[in-house]
Structure 1
Amino acid sequence: MAIMASRKHLKRFKAPSHWPIHPKEYKWTVKPSPGPHAIESSLPLLVIVRDILGIADNAREARKIINSGEILVDGRPRKNYKFPVGFMDVVTIPKTGGMYRVLPDERGRLVLHEIDEEKASFKLCKIINKTTLKGGRTQLNMHDGRNCLSENEFRVGDVVKLSIPDQEILERIPFEKGSLGLVTGGRHTGEIGRIKKINITRSSMPNTTVIETADKKTFLTLKDYVFVIGRDESVISLPGGK
């Protein structure tokens, strides 16, 4: 029984620090199933329904709500209570009218930021790789595991605005000097600023980016940590009205 429990559940004290659960309240919590986001950068759907949104008092109620198809992630019903929900995913609950985008706060914790219907109609996806297919078409591989075909010129690091759930590319947000970026990792997680300089190394050292905040302070972070969210202004609303 202990082996079965470890496959389906996760000891609470081993859960990622960004999960909003008390490590000593119970011994076990739900373990995310394999999916578009890693355990270190996602929240199980049950934790969202029960612990964050509070629309269920316990795990049994949460599983019932989820299994009924009442919770949509990126416009599609997700009935697996272990489904990993991660950065930039859009969670909607048609029955209550709730609409949320998953974003990091200033402490690096994933939060559900409430959004309106217009903002809930799209999500942002970062291009982490490109593949050339037979016939010369380009497949864009995104940070959330999805793939999109495109005939336009995109670069790794760019972000695309996708309509959901049909995945039509609406806009390209280039990773370039002057674009507005959200930092998703490191000690500056959750900070917003403009890209002032992109440092490309010719060695095994990682590429870095200089970010300037609204109050004219600058800091250096890894290029991979910067997720562009707009050119002149952010195309998404942000926690705290940033």
Structure 2
Amino acid sequence: MAKMGSRKHLKRFKSPEHWPIHPKEFTWTVKPSPGPHSIEGSLPLLVIVRDILQIADNAREARIIINNGEILVDGRIRKDYKFPVGFMDVIQLPKSGKAYRVLPDERGRLMLHPIEEGNTEFKLCRIEDKVTIKGGKTQLNLHDGRNYLTDDEYKTGDVLILNVPDQEIKDTIKFEDGTIGIITGGKHIGEIGTVKEINVTRSSMPNTVLIETDGTTFQTLQEYIFVLGKDKPVISLPGGE
């Protein structure tokens, strides 16, 4: 039995640090299914329903709520209680009218930021890389596992504003000097700042970005910057940014 359970579950003390669960409350927690986000960058839907939203007292109740189609992720009903929910995903609870966007807090833990109804119709996706495929089209590989085919020009680091659930591109936030971004890794994770300078290296070293936030300037890796808007963020943020 223990061997079977180890494939489906994770011991709580071995669960990722960004999971908002206490390691001593229970022995086991659910392991995310393979999906759009890695285990290191996601929360299983059951953990969100039971531990974060606390609309279920136990795993059984959480599974019933999820299986009944009461939870939407990016505009689609998700009935897999192990479905991985990650950064920038939009969660909706139609019965209560509540909605949330997944963001990192200042400790790097994933949190659910409440959003208004008008904010549930789109999500932000960063272009991680792009490749040219047969026929000359460009395939954009996005941070949440999506692949998008286009004839238009985009560059790595740009952020697409996608309508959900149809995934049509509504607009683009270019990764360039002067944009506002959230830091998704490193010791400044969760902070909001302005891109002052993008430093492209001509070696195997990663590109870096100079960020200014609250009068402080520091350097971080380009891969840690997720731009949110040109003059101001296009989404609401914790603390009223």
Give the TM interval when normalised to the shorter protein: over 0.9
Match of 2:64 in 1: 64
1:117-163: CA deviation from partner (whole Å, max 9, x where unpaired)? 11111000000111222221112110000111222110011000000
- Alpha-carbon shift at residue 184 of structure 1 (Å): 0.2
Distance in 2 between the 1:18 and 1:145 partners? Answer: 19
Q: Secondary structure at the match of 2:117?
A: coil
Distance in 2 between the 1:66 and 1:145 partners? Answer: 22
Distance in 1 between the 2:129 and 2:199 partners? Answer: 19
**Which residues of 2 match residues 41-190 of structure 1 at below 5 A?**
41-190=41-190
Distance in 2 between the 1:77 and 1:52 partners? Answer: 19
Unpaired segments ≥5 residues, structure 2: none
Q: Counterpart of 1:47 in structure 2: which amino acid?
A: V
Match of 1:221 in 2: 220
1:85-107: CA deviation from partner (whole Å, max 9, x where unpaired)? 00000000111111000000111
Identity of aligned residues (%): 70
- Alpha-carbon shift at residue 22 of structure 1 (Å): 1.1
Distance in 1 between the 2:77 and 2:66 partners? Answer: 8
Distance in 2 between the 1:44 and 1:99 partners? Answer: 17
Q: Counterpart of 1:138 in structure 2: which amino acid?
A: T
1:8-34: CA deviation from partner (whole Å, max 9, x where unpaired)? 000000011121111011111101111
Unpaired segments ≥5 residues, structure 1: none
Q: Secondary structure at the match of 2:125?
A: strand
Distance in 1 between the 2:131 and 2:229 partners? Answer: 25
Match of 2:6 in 1: 6
Q: Does the alignment pair 1:30 with 2:30?
A: yes
Moved more, 146-155 or 227-236: 146-155
Distance in 2 between the 1:11 and 1:53 partners? Answer: 21
Distance in 2 between the 1:27 and 1:130 partners? Answer: 42
Q: CA RMSD in A?
A: 0.8
Q: Counterpart of 1:234 in structure 2: which amino acid?
A: P
Q: Secondary structure at the match of 2:100?
A: strand
Q: Tell me the TM-score normalised to structure 1 length.
A: 0.98
Distance in 2 between the 1:127 and 1:120 partners? Answer: 21
Match of 1:194 in 2: 194
Distance in 2 between the 1:205 and 1:146 partners? Answer: 27
Q: Detail structure 1 runs of 4+ shifted over 6 Å in the superposition.
A: none
1:44-101: CA deviation from partner (whole Å, max 9, x where unpaired)? 1000000100111110000000011110000001100000000000000111111000
Distance in 1 between the 2:205 and 2:129 partners? Answer: 19
- Alpha-carbon shift at residue 200 of structure 1 (Å): 1.1
Distance in 1 between the 2:40 and 2:129 partners? Answer: 21
Distance in 2 between the 1:205 and 1:141 partners? Answer: 22
Distance in 1 between the 2:221 and 2:18 partners? Answer: 21
